[in-house]
Structure 1
Amino acid sequence: MSAPRPWWVRKRSLRAAALAAETGLSPLLAQVLINRGIRTAAAARAFLEPRLTDLCDPLLLPDMKPACDAVLEALRSRRRIVVYGDYDADGMTAVALLVHFFSDLGNPVSYYIPHRLREGYGVNPAALERLAKQGPALVITVDCGASDEKAIRFGLRLGLDFVVTDHHQTAQDISLPWPVVNPHRSRSHDEWRGLSGVGVAFCLAVALRARLRNQGWFGRVAEPDLRRYLDLVAVGTIADRSPVDRQNRLLVKRGLEAMGETRWVGLRTLMEVAGVSTAEPSAVDVGYRLAPRLNAAGRLGSAEPGVRALLARSPEIAFRLAKDLDRANRRRQDLERQVLEEAESLLHRSAALREQRALVVEGRGWHRGVLGIVASRLVERYHRPAFVLSTTDGLTVGSGRSVDGFHMVRNLGKVSHLLEKFGGHSHAAGFTLASAGVQEFSDSLSRLAEDCLGEEPASPPLVVDAAIPLGHWELESVRNLQSMAPFGEKNPEPLFCSREVRVVASRVVGEGHLKISLQAGGLFDGIGFHMGALHPLEGELVDLVYTPDINSWGGRERVQLRIADIRAAGDGEELIFFEDPRGQFDILGAEHE
């Protein structure tokens, strides 16, 4: 077996029994909640059953009031509104949400999303010139615009007006002559910090509806039911890997519920083509089936098929567009494999590259749409920041992904003299630079990574919620844990450890996945993705870390384990038990970047 990652098992909290008694929850569920920083009965109820009435006031977002003033003025004068978005799933769902919203209000509205390969990310002057030729308009940016001051000032001179809504971090927070609604601005309420681009757009719609209601607008048109828009919020938030905590948890949980009865023909058709059941869609369905298909269009160049699919009203048109997205996703997978293989080949051939504390790999003409995915794969494999660059005609475009402890945007800011443009989050960013500066960029980022992380990369530990006998698991105990869904960033699926379990059968299935049967009072099936090299294991005693799940097949339900790590029992590796009085994830009280 391969050398295991460290297993860090949380110690049992003395508070768990009291929390279980106060709430009627199982002691194990109470323990896992405490592990997430949830220590009171009120906090547990708010977490497990978030209500839309708990949604914070959107006016707590910076510049929301002047943003509403600008939009209301456009609505009163029936001025054309253009929603200018990003080409990823977050941007596409944000565009679709506001186009649907303004259409429901009966106001003229259109949208614009730049072509990834020809125009790049964000607001660009050429696009604004085209929009200005169509007449005066209020341009509302979604999931972009915070770093585009120069382009927007150019647009103002063309007679366009602007409201910026974005969630990307910028190097500085300055006052501008137009509203900038961004949860990362210094005056923002902490509850909003993790919002996605579509989440910010939804907040704008909520604030606008309240203002319109107060002004008696809905005597003329029907009041939009914004609960019916939450499915778009859930898709964009999950696709962008925004933290599923605070306000996002409420939006995603209720949004997944809305997906089961979605009013949007295009979203329902895309779910059908992607094999997502409308009965009980999950965050996993969105993250691994819907989001890749939506993202594929923008990654290959034009996000137009994705937006048109989300806006489609005809089932026939929606089906054709959904099939186009399905084919685009297969093409994206092929490109990703090609670039990843070439990047790995560069690392394999160069010890100097492999030894850098921050990996920087550059290829000629690599498809820009898959650079971020490839960077993510390198982070998963090498446990260090990774930057994947593509150079064409003297210009280099790159995407970076990071690990905890290395803030992507802050560190790119330290080499901003080398960059023409950059932006992103703490763990992901995009940038452009002249190809002549690539070596200096690589050396500088490696030094910065050493300063932040130390010299040697370490395999990240698996943080285990509890060590528990495998025979504990029954359908009801697994269902209890699933009440913590939706899972995602800042609310990871619970992990458990069981020791000295007998493997009675093992085989390799699919593309190198390990399927095993385990004996522990009864038989338990387990699946270890990409662990096929560990076969055969029949007859061995093993320790394993896993998430319990429920497998439904042929009308029957059984507990199934999704294995995160497995090793021979008694191989000398000890469990590390630790306690953190605030909770390892502390999702309700932690400071957010």
Structure 2
Amino acid sequence: MLRSKAKWNFVQGEEHSLPIDDSLSSLTQQLLRQRGIHTKEAAEQFLSPQLQQLHDPMLMNDMDKAVERVKDAISKGERILVFGDYDADGVSSTAVMMETLRELGAEVAYYIPNRFTEGYGPNEEAFRNAKEEDVALIITVDTGIAAHHEAKVAKELGIDLIITDHHEVQESLPEAYAIVHPKCSSSYPFQELAGVGVAFKFAHALLGDFPKHLLDLVVIGTIADLVPLHDENRVLSYYGLQALSRSVRPGFQALRQLCGIEGPLTEEDIGFAIGPRINAVGRLQNASPAVELLLTEDDDEAAYLANQIQELNQERQQIVADIAKEAETMLDAEGDDLPSVIVVAKEGWNQGVLGIVASRLVRRFDRPVIVLTIDPETETAKGSARSIDAFDLFTNCMQIRDLFTHFGGHAQAAGMTLPVENVDTVRAALSQQANEQLHPDDFREVLSIDGTLDLSQVSLDTIDEINQLAPFGMGNPKPLFCIDRSAPAEIRQIGSNLNHLKMKFKDDKNELDAIGFGLGELYTKLAPQSAMTTVGELSINEWNGRKKPQFMMKDIRVDEWQLFDLRGSRHLKKAVTTVPQDNAVAVFFHPVTAEHEWVWEYFDVLQIEDEEMVEELPLDEVDHLILMDLPQSLDRLATLVQNMNPKNIHACYRTDDAAFLKTVPTRDHFKWFYAMLLKRKQLHLEKEGPKLAAHKGWSKDAVEFISNVFFELEFVKIENGLVTLNSNPSKKDLSESALYQSKHEYVNVEQTLYFSSYRQLKSWFDEQMNRVVQAKEEVTNEP
């Protein structure tokens, strides 16, 4: 057996549903139903979004007031400051607003706070500096909804403040001139826009006409900020990806070249290439170069800025790796006593990358994580948090809001500042809340599986059709499918570090290659012939102009017990020492030899010397039963297996002197030997035995075996190697000889356990396992 790493939730579809569109495959129609789409019209709108599906920006609260104030400022020649944020959403929001206001002829500049010296969001000093620069109007983008103090400062300074934001609204709203925020607008139909989406709506309202030329900017923040990709976000990202693919902005062209992106862009290009590079700037320094990259019209400047950003991204990657390694070492030292919510803090950690580190730790430890850097001078801790699906960070942190100096964010991500003395209190409080709210299974990553896949359903056309559901992301995840209980025709490790897994699934007519990046460690935990269930995504692999369907594995489980066949292995120690040591038992039926003394270092060892020891073993399930040698009888092993009911059996035994391969004396052999003694009266085993064996084509051991069986049955006497007949032998059958029975039993043991095929050996163990199940059922059904 192998437990899946993640918790699997199968998305339930409606049974007996009417077809949505006969032109679509049944698989695509199933995916549409699971996304709440049940009519042909709704399917057409989803698969082919239209810009007309976007909502009127004037439905948003304070939009008319904000538009009027900006136009008034432009007409009066007042200076406007766009106050942005340092992530990809904030940077693209700033670029959207700057380009819009410049197009309208405004006297405008932008300002993005330094993460390290100013922290997140608007701040008083920046506002006072703006006043000295004669700024009359400040417009925030992707920030500001928690800026209560700064709003009061702006009012005192005589600066009008327009807040455009999308983050969660706290207990009260700042006293701003206008707040353009979908969550503050009950009449606005969609409340999940990214910060750049809100800025885009504001731009639409200011320009009067739909700003198609800004779609290449709006898609960056929309996808990078992980907002749900449905409703307006789907339309904006759908058309935004097309616009970005065609964009001639020098900054985008330079980024494309650096990232090695060719052809139409996808959401993955933004999520894994463009977004992280834009984010890297604000994580390590002031984010202004990222804004300039998006706005520049000069090719040389774009190339220079893109290279600068590339270097910063490489530096960011190394810093993340170093901090993550430090944090993991600290947490590993705590062993299995980790709290339900991890809070890890250290002086000197780079504040800008702590969100990425937190995400890595969530994946490693399967629980919410807060990562903080400590400033010893101010005695404050500042950092970021990431959560698991089942734990709402924002709601739970708001319950202890008084412990934070600053706090803001979403259900799955947040940022905070707090006194160092409160760190332990926050850890304890959030862990207690998690313990009260969550079940142990909630701490596992959740994979939502759209359906079970048959190999006959997989084709390039089907995959192309499914890809019409893109762009994928939050709220519209890439479909996950399950290949149920199928033994791969091929399984191997690949990659320079053997950290990836490759399989091939086959049936009578179809085959499908499967790749599991980062799943290489499962190789030793999967018996190749096991029927395993895999979860993954369908994709297309293109190589040398040839396209093939491909299954990108995300998780694997094996529901039945597994047999690992290591019989006669020359690399036994290397293979066995990869077996997990927890709840594993190595069994010897004979005294442990020097060759196998190493086993004691890795596993609990059980030496079974006789039948009574097996029968007296307590009934106890083990994860791994490691059989190091052959038993004297099949019954002895059967009793052991039935008592231990193992999830995995490792057959590690070998035989160097196989009885099965030798000539085992039959009754005719015994009959001839006895007749020979009647005629000759005696036989000297040492002097005459080899000649007799050669004459009959037997082994010397066979002659000695027959003699000893006759001796045990009192048919003959053996004195100093001389075999003579008893004058008055007892009447006994050969089967009454323990030596005869033992020999035939051991031959049966070798034939069944060693010289059998994998399928035959698995079948024999299956029989023993089934007896365990039957015994449990009998106990359960007792009156």
Same fold (TM over 0.5): yes
Report how far residue 407 of structure 1 moved: 2.1
Alignment of 1:111-260 (within 5 A): 111-174=110-173, 176-185=175-184, 187=186, 189=188, 191-210=189-208, 226-260=211-245
Deviates more, 1:373-382 or 1:361-370: 373-382
Counterpart AA for 2:27: L
Counterpart AA for 1:307: V
1:519 pairs, out of 506, 516, 528, with 506
| C-alpha distance 419-353 of structure 1, shift in aligned 2 (>3 A) | farther
Report how far residue 370 of structure 1 moved: 1.2
Deviates more, 1:113-122 or 1:438-447: 438-447
Alignment of 1:274-285 (within 5 A): 274-277=259-262, 279-285=263-269
Answering whether residue 517 of structure 2 is matched by residue 529 of structure 1, we say yes
Answering whether residue 329 of structure 2 is matched by residue 341 of structure 1, we say no
Answering whether residue 386 of structure 2 is matched by residue 385 of structure 1, we say no
Paired with 1:454 and 1:564, the residues of 2 have a C-alpha distance of 23
Percent of aligned pairs with the same residue?
36
Given that 1:228 and 1:262 are in contact with CA atoms closer than 8 Å, whether structure 2 keeps it comes out as no
Report how far residue 410 of structure 1 moved: 2.0
1:591 aligned residue: none
1:420 aligned residue: 405
Report how far residue 155 of structure 1 moved: 2.4
Paired with 2:555 and 2:483, the residues of 1 have a C-alpha distance of 11
Paired with 2:81 and 2:325, the residues of 1 have a C-alpha distance of 41
The SS at the match of 2:405 is: strand
2:391 aligned residue: 406
Paired with 2:487 and 2:288, the residues of 1 have a C-alpha distance of 51
1:554 aligned residue: 544
Paired with 1:510 and 1:287, the residues of 2 have a C-alpha distance of 26
Paired with 2:218 and 2:469, the residues of 1 have a C-alpha distance of 19
Given that 1:20 and 1:27 are in contact with CA atoms closer than 8 Å, whether structure 2 keeps it comes out as no
2:458 aligned residue: 473
The SS at the match of 1:110 is: strand
Counterpart AA for 1:557: K
Report how far residue 7 of structure 1 moved: 3.3
Report how far residue 158 of structure 1 moved: 2.5
Report how far residue 449 of structure 1 moved: 1.8
Paired with 1:79 and 1:137, the residues of 2 have a C-alpha distance of 6
Deviates more, 1:51-60 or 1:400-409: 400-409
Answering whether residue 460 of structure 2 is matched by residue 508 of structure 1, we say no
Report how far residue 445 of structure 1 moved: 1.2
2:357 aligned residue: 374
Answering whether residue 280 of structure 2 is matched by residue 296 of structure 1, we say yes
Counterpart AA for 2:447: L
Report how far residue 349 of structure 1 moved: 1.2
The SS at the match of 1:549 is: strand
The SS at the match of 2:463 is: helix
Asked which structure has the greater RCO (Cα within 8 Å, sep 6+), the reply is 1
Paired with 2:241 and 2:16, the residues of 1 have a C-alpha distance of 32
Unaligned runs of 5+ in 1: 214-224, 574-593
Given that 1:551 and 1:559 are in contact with CA atoms closer than 8 Å, whether structure 2 keeps it comes out as yes
Given that 2:455 and 2:510 are in contact with CA atoms closer than 8 Å, whether structure 1 keeps it comes out as no
Counterpart AA for 1:506: R
Answering whether residue 106 of structure 2 is matched by residue 107 of structure 1, we say yes
2:303 aligned residue: 319
Report how far residue 62 of structure 1 moved: 2.1
Report how far residue 12 of structure 1 moved: 5.1
CA RMSD of superposed structures (Å): 2.1
Counterpart AA for 1:524: L
Paired with 2:9 and 2:402, the residues of 1 have a C-alpha distance of 41
Paired with 2:111 and 2:310, the residues of 1 have a C-alpha distance of 23
The SS at the match of 1:545 is: strand
Given that 1:509 and 1:515 are in contact with CA atoms closer than 8 Å, whether structure 2 keeps it comes out as no
Report how far residue 508 of structure 1 moved: 1.7
Given that 2:370 and 2:383 are in contact with CA atoms closer than 8 Å, whether structure 1 keeps it comes out as yes
Answering whether residue 447 of structure 2 is matched by residue 462 of structure 1, we say yes
Given that 2:139 and 2:161 are in contact with CA atoms closer than 8 Å, whether structure 1 keeps it comes out as yes
| C-alpha distance 330-506 of structure 1, shift in aligned 2 (>3 A) | same
The SS at the match of 1:202 is: helix
| C-alpha distance 571-230 of structure 1, shift in aligned 2 (>3 A) | farther
Unaligned runs of 5+ in 2: 563-646, 648-783
Query: What TM-score does the superposition give when structure 1 sets the normalisation length?
Result: 0.89
Given that 1:398 and 1:430 are in contact with CA atoms closer than 8 Å, whether structure 2 keeps it comes out as yes
Bigger Rg over Cα = 2
Paired with 1:539 and 1:352, the residues of 2 have a C-alpha distance of 33
Paired with 1:78 and 1:503, the residues of 2 have a C-alpha distance of 73
Paired with 2:80 and 2:424, the residues of 1 have a C-alpha distance of 44
The SS at the match of 1:73 is: helix
The SS at the match of 1:137 is: strand
Given that 1:170 and 1:424 are in contact with CA atoms closer than 8 Å, whether structure 2 keeps it comes out as no
Report how far residue 501 of structure 1 moved: 4.1
Paired with 2:175 and 2:186, the residues of 1 have a C-alpha distance of 14
Residue deviations 1:481-521 (CA, integer Å, cap 9, x gap): 00000000010111111131423252321562223333343
1:49 aligned residue: 48
Paired with 1:15 and 1:60, the residues of 2 have a C-alpha distance of 40
1:545 pairs, out of 530, 535, 538, with 535
Given that 1:136 and 1:159 are in contact with CA atoms closer than 8 Å, whether structure 2 keeps it comes out as no
Given that 1:552 and 1:558 are in contact with CA atoms closer than 8 Å, whether structure 2 keeps it comes out as yes
Answering whether residue 426 of structure 2 is matched by residue 438 of structure 1, we say no
1:14 aligned residue: 15
1:578 aligned residue: none
| C-alpha distance 370-42 of structure 1, shift in aligned 2 (>3 A) | same
Report how far residue 539 of structure 1 moved: 5.8
1:3 aligned residue: 3
Paired with 1:259 and 1:465, the residues of 2 have a C-alpha distance of 30
The SS at the match of 1:502 is: coil
The SS at the match of 1:483 is: helix
2:73 aligned residue: 74
Report how far residue 392 of structure 1 moved: 1.1
Counterpart AA for 1:236: G
Paired with 1:466 and 1:456, the residues of 2 have a C-alpha distance of 21
Answering whether residue 351 of structure 2 is matched by residue 361 of structure 1, we say no
Given that 1:68 and 1:208 are in contact with CA atoms closer than 8 Å, whether structure 2 keeps it comes out as yes
Residue deviations 1:431-483 (CA, integer Å, cap 9, x gap): 10111111111111111222332466542443221112123211000011000
Deviates more, 1:141-150 or 1:381-390: 381-390
Residue deviations 1:410-447 (CA, integer Å, cap 9, x gap): 22221111111111111111010111111111111111
Counterpart AA for 1:292: P
Residue deviations 1:321-350 (CA, integer Å, cap 9, x gap): 111111111111111111111111121112
Q: Count the aligned residue pairs.
A: 555
Residue deviations 1:274-313 (CA, integer Å, cap 9, x gap): 1222x21000110000011000011112112211111111
Counterpart AA for 2:202: L
Counterpart AA for 1:513: H
The SS at the match of 1:20 is: coil
